[in-house]
Amino acid sequence: MAPTFVISTGRCGSTLVSRMLRVHPEVLSLSELFSTVRNRGYLDGAPDGAQFWRMLSEPDPAVDVMVAEGLKVSELIYPYGTGRFGSAEGVPAICHMTLPMLTDDPDALYDELAAEVPGWSARPIADQYRALFAYLAERFDRPVVVERSGGSLEMLPRLREQFPEARFVYLTRDGADSALSMSRHAGFRLMLLGREAARIAGVASSNQLGADQFQLVPAELGRLLTTPSELPNLMRREVPVTAFGALWSAMTCEGADELLRLPAETWMMTSYEALVADAPAELTRLAGFLGVPATGAWLTEAARLVDPGRRATSTPPNPRLLDALRRSCAPGTAVDATLAAAAGFTLAPAAAP
C-alpha cells in the first residue's frame, strides 16, 4: 500500500483538501499527522511501539497554549470543551487534528490505538508509519491512504528517502494570499523565527538548533522559540507581511528541485484557486491520480465544502504594500510557473486587488 502525501507551503487550502478526501468512501484522509510530530524526530531511528506511541501522543505545550489562549486555527478540530482532554492538562498531540478527521469520536479511537500501538516491536520508523497506515486503512475500510500536513513541502526530501514508493500531490496557492494567512498563524510565526535563528546560528534548519547553537541566538529570539507561554506575545509583535511573502517564496523555491527530480508519473500539481473555480473538474483529476472513482455523489458532497467567497484571504493591504508583498513572492511565483509547465497544469491568475 503506497501512501500519497499532499505537500504544500501551508495556508493554501490543504485543510480543505483533507476534508474533501475525508468524504470519499475509499480514501483514508490523514490530516496533519507529520505536522503533529515534526519536531520530535519524526523520521529518525527505529523505535519500538511504546516509543512511537509516545511520539504521537504526548501533548504539545505550544498547541495547548494556542487552544487555551484562543489562537486556534481551522486545523485544530478536536471537540475542545466536550472531549475528554483539555489544554490545561494537555491534549494528546494526535487528537488535535489527525484523529478527529477520521471519526466523530476521537477519544474512542485514541483509546483503541493506545491499546494497540505500544505493543508493536521495534523497526525502522517508516515501517511504524506503514503499520499505522495499514491498521487505520483496515479499521475504516478505506484502502487508499493520503496524508496531508501543512507546510510539508520542506519535508519532501525526507519523505522521498523514507517512502520511496510514495506518490505526491503538490498543492499551491497565490503567494500573497498564502503569506497574508501565514502572518496570522502562530505556527508560521514560529517557523519564521526558527529560520531566523538557524540563519544566525549557521545551521541549515531550526531542527538542528542544539544547546550550543542556541548560545549564538539572541536571548529574546530564543525565549520566543522555546517558551510556549510567549505565543500570545509573539502574535502581538509587528512582523511585516512581506517577511511571510519571502517565507512562502523560499519554501516554494526549496521544494521545486525536489519535485522536479520525481518521476513524472509519481506527482501531480493542483491549486486552491482551481479547486474553488471548478471543484468537480479538479477533484476528478485528483481521483484519477489516486486511482479512486470520481463518483457523482462524492463530487457533489465535496464541492459543497468550497466557499467561493474565500479565494482571497481577506481584504488586501494598501496598493503599495500589496505591490511589495507580490515582489517578495516573485521568486516563488516564477518557480510555481516552472512546476506547472512540468506538470501540465494551468495556474490561475493572481486575484485582483
pLDDT score at 313? 55
pLDDT score at 310? 60
pLDDT score at 210? 77
Strand order from edge to edge, sheet including 144-148 = 27-31, 144-148, 4-7, 167-172, 267-271
pLDDT score at 316? 60
Q: Is 270 helix (H, G, I), strand (E, B) or coil?
A: strand
pLDDT score at 6? 98
Q: What is the CATH number of domain 1-22+143-183+239-287+307-353?
A: 3.40.50.300
Nearest Cα neighbor of 25 from 304, 212, 344, 290 is 290
Q: Which residues of the chain have pLDDT under 70?
A: 208, 308-317, 350-353
pLDDT score at 315? 58
Nine-digit cell string for 50: 511504546
pLDDT score at 311? 55
Place of cell 475504516: 140
The enclosing H or E element of 201 equals helix 186-201
Per-residue model confidence as pLDDT tens digits over 33-73: 999 998 898 999 999 999 999 999 999 999 999 999 988 78
Nearest Cα neighbor of 22 from 260, 252, 283 is 283
pLDDT score at 74? 83
CA distance 347 to 299: 22
Tell me whether residue 215 is exposed, middle or buried, using C-beta atoms within 10 angstroms of its C-beta: 0 to 12, 13 to 18, 19 or more. Answer: exposed
pLDDT score at 353? 41
Per-residue model confidence as pLDDT tens digits over 117-150: 999 999 999 999 999 999 999 999 999 999 999 9
pLDDT score at 71? 86
Nine-digit cell string for 54: 509516545
Structural domain boundaries of the chain?
1-22+143-183+239-287+307-353, 27-142, 185-223
